[in-house]
A and B are shown apart, each in its own frame.
Chain A
Amino acid sequence: MNDALRAGVSARLELHIAAKQYVAASGARHEVLREIVLSLGEGEVAAILGPSGCGKTTLLRIVAGLDTDFDGSVTLAGKGRSHPPKMGMVFQEPRLLPWRTVEQNLLLAAPGASAAAIDRLLADFGLSSHARHFPGELSLGLARRVALARAFAVEPDILLLDEPFASLDARLAGSLRHELAKLVSRNRATTLLVTHDVDDATELADRIFLLSQRPARIIGIVPIETPRSLRSPERLAAIGRDVIARGVGPER
């Protein structure tokens, strides 16, 4: 517990969703996800890329155990350990406790973290001067950083990210994405990122899973061989073109 960024042994994730439906207020049934199978190895970072409203968040909620009403199974396997793998999650909205300071928000999620580890995380996300601020005093960009720092504070075996840069301006999203890429590489947690943004996926993922419109299915898998730190802007653009060529329009 002395180093927030040295994750323990990463978990492996096996996901099989045969079907996921939801019942609307009108009583009509909608199929959201169909036949989604994916398997992530140790420390692998996967991006689920698909159009807005295709069911990405639902998929992530199923993995997080927040939605159990589906046909299929989720297996989060720690490596030879009996206790359940530790999970860190970044929701679409920051979901911080407004009545606790930034520092307390981190410590509540990660009670075992040392003060030094928390300080280092805050520094990594440029939050050192905000440790004693309440979330209501922060801009959305800063609040998202706190949410990211909180997810890393638990030294997760499995890290779930739901559009962590949504509604930030392009420049801010770009710099935060860059910081996150570095941390994800250092942390070595098995990571599942859902996004509609091709840049998020190409910069962060080892493998990109492309989802269709509703009911969402996996329509393509794009592995990225180049290590994250070596991805030049040109390389990223080329991967992005490849992804789009495979038939996903991010936003259209």
Chain B
Amino acid sequence: MLRLASLALFLVIWLVGTFALGERKLPGPPAVAATIVAEARSGALFANVGITLVRVVLAFVLAMAIGSALGLLMGRNRVADRLGDPWLVVLLNLPALVIIVLAYVWLGLTEVAAVAAVAVNKLPNTIVTVREGARALDRGLDEMGRVFAFSRWKKLRHIVLPQLAPYLAAAMRLGVSLIWKIVLVVELIGRPNGVGFEIGTAFQLFDMPRILAYSCTFVLIMLAIETLLVQPLERRASRWRLRTA
């Protein structure tokens, strides 16, 4: 209920903004909705949003998988931590644009370069979060697993992952938001399709309704992913905690 009220407030502010700045600079919700419908009818909306989503998912999966593995390793192993730390600091501070440009130069203006550039941008942030979680792992439970002869897989699944769950959830939540921001930049610079490319084209033509149409569609999809996927997963992972509270 509160969320809906908050959303209504947003629409009101938008309308006030349209009134103040004029339809040309900030088209109102009806104009944007009409553009969304028109783009959907032509099929362009689905094609562009679809390809962008595919890039988001690929980069997300890559960054989460590699980042979690490296973060776990660095949190558990001092040598790996020492070796990896300077790399991590460099990656964390390297501007997204530098990584994107270098990826396009070295790998060409290809899909692989685009997805890799996005994944590399998200990677250090996953590593840092998961490493923090791995450092906080309970040694007592680890010893319990050793005494009771848990296999590696059983340790990972029943001892390590449940402890990392809150850290993984944080990395995922930050990951989705960061990745979709960077995917648009990557598309703007070096891809012939996708939401980022469309917004770039619309910007050159000063086509405000189209810019907002694509932005809103994508925001709605991200909201849906958050409410329908991320939050239920989080609730499931912490249900043992809810019952103790």
Q: Is the interface of A mostly helix, strand, loop or mixed?
A: loop
- How many A-B Cβ pairs are below 8 Å? 51
The answer to whether A99 and B162 have CB atoms under 8 Å apart is yes
Give the CA-CA distance A110 to B149 in the complex, in Å.
Answer: 9
- A136–B143 CB distance below 8 A: no
Q: Give Cα distance in the complex from A99 to B150, angstroms.
A: 16
Does any Cβ of B come within 8 Å of A218's Cβ?
no
Residue pair B244, A91 in contact (C-beta under 8 Å):
no
Q: Write out the residue numbers on chain B whose beta carbons fall within 8 Å of the beta carbon of A98.
A: 240, 244
With both beta carbons as reference points, the residue of chain B lying nearest to A97 in the complex is identified as B158
List, in ascending order, chain B residues with CB within 8 A of A137's CB.
243-244
- Contact status B144-A91, CB under 8 Å: yes
Interface 1/0 per residue, B139-182 and A, CB below 8 Å: 01101101111100010001100100000000000000000000
- Assuming the contacts A65-B146, A66-B143, A93-B140, asked whether A136 and B158 have C-beta atoms less than 8 A apart, the reply is no
Given contacts A136-B243, A137-B244, contact A95 B141 (CB under 8 A): yes
B residues near A110, Cβ cutoff 8 Å: 148
B241 at the interface (CB under 8 A from A): yes
- Residues in A with CB closer than 8 Å to B149 are 86-87
- CB neighbours (8 Å) of A86 from chain B are 149
**B154 engages A108 (CB within 8 Å):** yes
A86 to B148 CA separation, bound complex (whole angstroms): 8
Q: Assuming A66-B147, A154-B148, is B243 touching A134 (CB within 8 A)?
A: yes
Choose from A65, A109, A134, A150 the contact partner of B244 (Cβ within 8 Å).
Answer: A134
Bound-state CA distance A127–B141 (Å) is 22
With A66-B143, A134-B243, A136-B243 in contact, do A97 and B148 touch (Cβ < 8 Å)?
Answer: no
Bound-state Cα–Cα, A211 to B241, Å: 41
Most buried by B among A65, A93, A99, A134: A99
Main secondary structure of the interface of B (DSSP, over half): helix
Asked if residues A136 and B240 are in contact (CB atoms below 8 Å), the reply is yes
Q: Which residues of B contact A65 (CB under 8 A)?
A: 146-147
Residue of A nearest to B163 (CB): A99
* A9 CB within 8 Å of chain B: no
Given the interface pairs A93-B140, A97-B159, the reply to whether A87 lies near B243 with Cβ below 8 Å is no
Q: B225-245, CB under 8 A of A: which get 1 and which 0?
A: 000000000000000110110
Given the known interface contacts A93-B140, A95-B140, A136-B244, the answer about A66 and B158 at a Cβ–Cβ threshold of 8 Å is no
CB distance from B150 to the nearest CB of A (A): 7
Residues of B within 8 A of A87 (CB): 147-149
User: A97 to B162, Cβ gap below 8 A?
Assistant: yes
- Distance of A154 Cα from B145 Cα, bound (Å): 13
B148 touches A109 (CB 8 A): yes
Residues on A with beta carbons closer than 8 Å to the beta carbon of B147: 64-66, 87, 89, 160
By a CB distance below 8 angstroms, the chain A residues around B158 are 97, 100, 108
A86 CA to B147 CA, complexed, in Å:
9
Which residues of B (129-144) have their CB < 8 Å from a CB of A? 140-141, 143-144
Give min CB distance, A193 to chain B, whole Å.
15
**B166 CB, nearest partner CB in chain A, Å:** 11
A109 and B140 CA atoms in complex are apart in Å by 15
Contacts of A91 in B (CB 8 A): 140, 143-144
Q: How far is the CB of A155 from chain B (nearest CB, A)?
A: 12
Complex: how many Å from CA A93 to CA B159?
A: 16
The residues of A that contact B243 with a CB separation of less than 8 Å are 134, 136-137
Taken together as a complex, chains A and B put the C-alpha atoms of A87 and B243 apart, in Å, by 32
Q: How far is the CB of B11 from chain A (nearest CB, A)?
A: 41
Establish whether residues A97 and B154, one from each chain, have CB atoms under 8 Å apart when the complex forms: no
- A95: chain B residues at CB < 8 Å are 140-141, 143-144
* A100: B residues at CB distance < 8 A: 158, 240
Taking CB atoms, residues of chain A closer than 8 Å to B146 are 65-66
B141 near A108 with CB under 8 A, answer: no
Q: Given contacts A64-B147, A87-B147, A108-B158, is CB(A97)–CB(B141) below 8 Å?
A: yes
In the bound complex, residues from chain B placing their C-beta under 8 Å from that of A64 are 143, 147
Given pairs A66-B143, A95-B144, 9 additional interface contacts (CB within 8 A): A65-B147, A66-B146, A87-B149, A89-B148, A97-B158, A109-B148, A137-B243, A154-B148, A160-B147
A-B contact pairs, 12 of them (CB 8 A): A64-B147, A87-B148, A88-B148, A91-B144, A93-B140, A97-B141, A99-B240, A108-B154, A108-B158, A136-B240, A137-B243, A160-B147
Interfacial residues, chain A to chain B (CB-CB below 8 A): 64-66, 86-89, 91, 93, 95, 97-100, 108-110, 134, 136-137, 150, 154, 160
Q: List the 6 shortest-distance A-B pairs measured between CB atoms, nearest first.
A: A136-B244, A99-B162, A109-B148, A99-B240, A134-B240, A95-B144
